[in-house]
A and B are shown apart, each in its own frame.
Chain A
Amino acid sequence: MKPEEYTRRQQELSGWPITIETYKLGDVYHCTIANVDPGARFARADGTTREEAEARAIEKATRYLAQTRKFEV
């Protein structure tokens, strides 16, 4: 099988720049979210549509990012 409808884009989520990568393999859309710096994947989800997969992954990512604290330096 070949991945279809591959997209990769950057946007901001909860004040953090993130990368959203989505592709379709067979009947399933796979979405993964990474922080831009350092570039670590930290949330992923599947769905029957692109919108569903991305919405689920973004929901998880939002939850995880809320736990990241910033300290004054």
Chain B
Amino acid sequence: MTTNTLSNVLVTTDWVAQHATDAGVRVVEVDVDTTAYDQGHVPGAAGWNWTTQLCDTVVRDIVPAKKLEELLGKSGIDNKTTIVLYGDNNNWFAAWAFWQLKIYGHDDVRIMDGGRKKWLAEGRDLSTDAPSFPSTRYQAGAPDLSLRAFLPEVQAAVAGKKASLVDVRSPQEFTGEILAPPGLPETCQRGGHIPGAKSIPWGKNCNEDGTFKSFDDLKALYAAQGISGDQPVIAYCRIGERSSLTWFVMKHLLGFRNVKNYDGSWTEWGNLVGAAVEKP
């Protein structure tokens, strides 16, 4: 990882070990498995629950601005804090939090490369204490919807082919052989993918240790499917978290300018009456 683009948004586990409790830095764990934080986390890290704290729990939507302001305030984060996110599953929901923080305009957000997996594998310190932080006042910015795709835009992309669609789910989900990742609840009525979407599974972004692949490898991965950043790209998965990781890669590691995450994803498209579905 040698480019400026990468160094601005990624930190290593070594860096976190040295700076996790520095003034002006807040490390936050966000996991798919919301109990993982309690099984030991980076000492001094806050823990956010994506199912209750990073979404609107009434309407299906991202976290409302006021709720985010309260969460960040309770986490001792102000608008100038360097937020370092990490989590399980190679940072799926860390990327989800990153995407939402960027929507609301937080300037300095980073991801710990390798996430929880690498931290554990390296035998680094873990704490089961839930730290408390002095409350701060946080002011969210107006939502930047250039980072987010809604259904009409995806439908227009399918019809007009003016944006590339990237399906980041597993090949078996893409073909419709399964409706959800093995072991997880099925949450859609139909299998397959959005017509015209390219299959680039999210896992191809990462090395075995959970770190992101090099700039050159990532560039080649997307170029092989005709995704070079020259035209708008919309990434989707099942509920929008895996695709937020791919969004992070394309937007912040590769520097593509026009990339959106379609968080409605397959749980929206695959449940729509009359929506076209491509198989395999």
Complex interface residues of chain A between 5 and 59 (CB less than 8 A to chain B):
6, 8, 16, 18, 21, 23, 25-26, 30, 32-35, 37-44, 46
Q: Is the interface of B mostly helix, strand, loop or mixed?
A: loop
Spot the interface stretch: B20-28, B58-66, B122-130, B219-227.
B122-130
Question: A72: which B residues are within 8 A, CB to CB?
Answer: 177
Question: B117: which A residues are within 8 A, CB to CB?
Answer: 21
Residues of chain A touching chain B, judged by Cβ–Cβ distance below 8 Å, are: 1-4, 6, 8, 16, 18, 21, 23, 25-26, 30, 32-35, 37-44, 46, 61, 64-65, 67-73
Contact A69 to B182, CB < 8 A, known contacts A1-B126, A41-B33, A44-B33: no
Choose one: B31, B40, B89; the contact of A3 (CB below 8 Å): B40
| A1, B93: Cα distance in complex, Å | 25
In this complex, how many residues of chain B approach chain A with their Cβ under 8 Å: the count is: 44
Is the CB–CB distance between A38 and B170 below 8 Å?
yes
**Nearest neighbor of B176 in chain A, beta-carbon distance:** A73
Question: A25: which B residues are within 8 A, CB to CB?
Answer: 39-40, 126, 128
Is the CB–CB distance between A16 and B182 below 8 Å?
yes
Contact A3 to B126, CB < 8 A, known contacts A32-B33, A37-B201, A71-B191: yes
Choose one: A6, A26, A39; the contact of B89 (CB below 8 Å): A39
Is the CB–CB distance between A39 and B280 below 8 Å?
no
Is the CB–CB distance between A65 and B90 below 8 Å?
no
Specify which of A1, A34, A41, A65 lies most central, judged by the most chain B CB atoms within 10 Å of its CB: A41
